Structure 1
Amino acid sequence: MGQGASTPAEPPQPKKKKVGIKSGKPICCCCPDTKKPRDECVVFKGEEHPDCIKLIEAHKACLRAEGFDVK
């Protein structure tokens, strides 16, 4: 009743959160000045509304400036 040699499981490694270069914050906490207006616009007007498209692009530009790879 031999049990095969088992290898000890490696402890799970904590996930490293990517943080912005300037602020050191995670992506969800960066650029609050562009995030809130973008979110409100999308909720009330829809993602395809021209005003919202401008706000979305401004938020993406802010995140890129923080060092995030945003498409």
Structure 2
Amino acid sequence: MSTVCAAGVEPAQAAEGIQEKKPLKPCCACPDTKRARDACIIEKGEESCTDLIEAHKECMRALGFKI
């Protein structure tokens, strides 16, 4: 079985079929941690959800957001 490496493709050919990506918006980043954080805050209050809040912040930072 052979594999194709992107390094062997000309840059013009590689970009031809790929649409330009839009930057990720903060509202759309880390949906899993955001959902868990929000549900916890609604049910238990912000003081009880610090671990989920921090997990969401770490996810955002990993994606390049300055939190």
TM range (shorter): 0.5 to 0.7
Which structure's relative contact order is higher, taking Cα pairs within 8 Å and 6+ residues apart? 1
Answer 1 or 2: which has greater helix percent. Answer: 2
* 2:51 aligned to which of 49, 54, 58: 54
Aligned residues: 46
Larger Rg: 1
User: Which segments of 5 or more consecutive residues in structure 1 lack a partner in the other structure?
Assistant: 1-22
In the superposition, the TM-score normalised over structure 2's length comes to 0.65
Q: Root-mean-square deviation (CA), in Å?
A: 1.3
In the superposition, the TM-score normalised over structure 1's length comes to 0.62
* Structure 1: 4+ residue segments shifted above 3 A: none
Structure 1 position 39 matched with structure 2 position 34: no
